Structure 1
Amino acid sequence: MAPAQKRDIAEYLFGELNKQGDVIQSNNQERQLLSSALQEILKKILLEANEIAKAEHSEAVMPVHLEEATRIVLNK
């Protein structure tokens, strides 16, 4: 993934968190750290969903795969 795309995803994730009631009041370094952590979690979920889809011989990752992957990643 290109650096510009990473920055865009990180900013999107941070923006979505801020929509949840301005729970985050932080400086730029903290924002970047949090955004990077969220991006890594998302990456793990997507990779896990892909593995689940492959195991089920699915041609595509479906919402059910994402839901299961989310449960797996967040419970580790």
Structure 2
Amino acid sequence: GYGEAFGHGLGHGVGLAIHERPRLGPNSKEQLVNDMVFTIEPGIYLTGWGGVRIEDTVVMESGKIRVISRARKI
């Protein structure tokens, strides 16, 4: 897989500032709770080629994640 090319966090909270808590990643200990808005943005970066990142904005509702971004993925 591309695990070694994934050198950043998985996402972050969104609020008054674009980058807020929680910070999402493999070492994150923060608990996601209802009404939190955050991003899920996996991406890879390959030396000599470039990178790609797909970002969705989501909200936690009733213990489940609902995608609220509307961008098409092509």
TM-score by length of structure 2 reads 0.26
Structure having the higher helix fraction is 1
TM-score by length of structure 1 reads 0.25
